A and B are shown apart, each in its own frame.
Chain A
C-alpha cells in the first residue's frame, strides 16, 4: 500500500533536554501513513529519547507533536512500542501476558485476539510457558505481538534486534516485512544498517540530538551508505 499524503505524525522543532544535555534537538519530521522510517545514529544520539517522546513515555521540553490517528480516543491507543526490554512479566505465560495487555487496552474478544497474535508470531506451542523461560528471539516476537495487540497505527521499534542471534534476527525481519506489506507505519531504530535499509522507505541519521541527514530510501545507495553514515555523523558532530 503506498504511503498516503496526510502525515500521521508531525514533529515541529521537537526538543528534549535533560538538564544541560540536549537529547533531542529541534527535530522536524513528518511521517506519512505506510512510511517505514529507519533511524540510524551512534550511541547517545537521542534516537531512543526521540521514540520515547513520541510514545509519550517522556514529555518534550519544547516543540510540537501532532498525531492524526483515526478512530482512537487517545494517543497511547494509536501507538505500539517495542524496545530491547520486553515489557513482559517473566512469571506469566505467553498467553497470560497478552491477555493482560489486551484487557488493559480493552480489546473486544481479548482471549481470541491474544491467541491469534500468538499464532501469528509462531508461539502457539509456547503459549502456556512462562516467558521467563523463553529464548531471546521468542521474547522479542512476543513483545511485538504485545505491541500489535491493539492494532496501533504507529509502531515504534527501538533497537529490536538487540540480543537476537542470526536466526532470531531473520525471523524478526520476516515479521517486519509482513507488517510493511500490510502498510503499517513504522519507526525503526537500529544499528544494523543493512537490515534497516532493506526494510525502510525513508532514512534519517540522528547525531547529538539533531537530524543530520534524511532522504527517501531510493536516493540512498546501499553500497555507499556506511560511508555516508560516518560522513553525516562526523559533519553533524563538527556543527555542534
Chain B
C-alpha cells in the first residue's frame, strides 16, 4: 500500500467521523455565522466604512472557526487515545501529518466556502469574477493554516489549556499568510484590482510549501514523547 493510499485512509477516516458527528461542522459554521451577523448589526451594511471593514470581517469569520476545527481534530484523537494508535502503527509520522492536515484542509474548505457565500449575501457583494479570486485566496491561505494548525494542534493536544494555548501559538505563525490574504481581499473587493494578486498568491504559495514541509518533517518530534 503506497503513501497516497495511506494518506487517503487517514483522510477518509476523519471525514467519515466528522460527517457522522457533525460536531465541528455545526459549531464552526454557526460561530462564523454569528460573527457575520454581529458585525452586520454593528455596522450599516451599505455604508462606505462597512465596505472598508468587510475584508477584515470576512477573515475574522474564517480564522476563528478554523481554530475550533483544528482543536476538535485532535480532541477526537485524545478521547479514546487513538492518537497513540496512530503513533503505534508502522505508518511514517510524516504521512500521519499529511493525512491529518489534508483532512483538516478539506473540512476547512467546506466551511470557508459556506462562510464566503454567506459573507457575500450579508455585505451585499455581487457574485462576480472577483469572488473566484477571493475563493483562491481562501483556498491557499486555508492550506497553510491547516498545515500549521495540524502541527500545533498535535503539539498542544495533551495539554489541559490547549483551547487557550493553540490560538496564542498559532496566530503569530500564520500572520505571513493572513496579512497578504486580507490585503489582497481588500484590493479585489474594494478596488477591483487583480494585477497585484500575483504577488499575494505567490507569497501564499511559498509559505504554504514551507508550512507543509515543516509539518511533515517536525510531526515525528511533536508526537514523540
A associates with B: yes
Interface residues of chain A, those whose CB is within 8 Å of chain B, are 52, 55-59, 73-74, 76-77, 79, 81, 83, 85-92, 96, 100-101, 103-106, 130, 146
Q: What are 7 A-B pairs with beta-carbon distances under 8 A?
A: A57-B84, A73-B90, A77-B90, A81-B84, A83-B84, A88-B82, A103-B5
Contacts of A77 in B (CB 8 A): 90
Q: How far, in whole Å, are A59 and B223 apart by their CA atoms in the complex?
A: 11
Do residues A85 and B89 form an inter-chain contact, with CB atoms below 8 A? no
| Minimal Cβ-Cβ distance residue in A for B16 | A92
CB-contact partner of B91 in A56, A85, A104, under 8 A: A104
Give the number of residues in B that approach A within 8 Å (Cβ atoms): 24
CB-contact partner of A100 in B13, B84, B88, under 8 A: B13
Do residues B84 and A87 form an inter-chain contact, with CB atoms below 8 A? yes
Q: Does B128 contact A (CB under 8 A)?
A: no
Do residues A55 and B88 form an inter-chain contact, with CB atoms below 8 A? yes
Do residues B85 and A146 form an inter-chain contact, with CB atoms below 8 A? yes
| Minimal Cβ-Cβ distance residue in A for B17 | A91
Q: Does B164 contact A (CB under 8 A)?
A: no
Q: How far, in whole Å, are A104 and B13 apart by their CA atoms in the complex?
A: 11
| Minimal Cβ-Cβ distance residue in B for A85 | B81
Chain B nearest CB from A90 CB (Å) reads 6
Chain A nearest CB from B225 CB (Å) reads 4
Do residues B13 and A89 form an inter-chain contact, with CB atoms below 8 A? yes
Do residues A105 and B87 form an inter-chain contact, with CB atoms below 8 A? no
Main secondary structure of the interface of A (DSSP, over half): loop
Q: Does B224 contact A (CB under 8 A)?
A: yes
Contact A104/B80 with A58-B225, A76-B89 known, Cβ cut-off 8 Å: no
Q: How far, in whole Å, are A55 and B225 apart by their CA atoms in the complex?
A: 12
What sequence of 0s and 1s flags, for each residue 1-35 of chain B, a beta carbon within 8 Å of any chain A beta carbon? 10001100100010011001100000000000000
Q: Does B76 contact A (CB under 8 A)?
A: yes
Chain B nearest CB from A58 CB (Å) reads 4
Do residues A85 and B17 form an inter-chain contact, with CB atoms below 8 A? no
Closest 5 CB pairs of A and B: A85-B81, A87-B85, A58-B225, A104-B89, A91-B17
Do residues A92 and B13 form an inter-chain contact, with CB atoms below 8 A? yes
CB-contact partner of B80 in A57, A87, A101, A130, under 8 A: A87
Contact A92/B225 with A74-B90, A76-B90 known, Cβ cut-off 8 Å: no
Chain B nearest CB from A69 CB (Å) reads 12
Do residues A57 and B16 form an inter-chain contact, with CB atoms below 8 A? no
Chain B nearest CB from A232 CB (Å) reads 29
Contacts of B225 in A (CB 8 A): 52, 57-59
Contacts of B6 in A (CB 8 A): 103-104, 106
Contacts of A101 in B (CB 8 A): 85, 89
Q: Does B114 contact A (CB under 8 A)?
A: no
Contacts of A87 in B (CB 8 A): 80-82, 84-85, 88
Q: Which residues of B from 66 to 98 have beta carbons under 8 Å from A?
A: 76, 79-82, 84-91
Q: How far, in whole Å, are A59 and B79 apart by their CA atoms in the complex?
A: 23
Do residues B224 and A59 form an inter-chain contact, with CB atoms below 8 A? yes
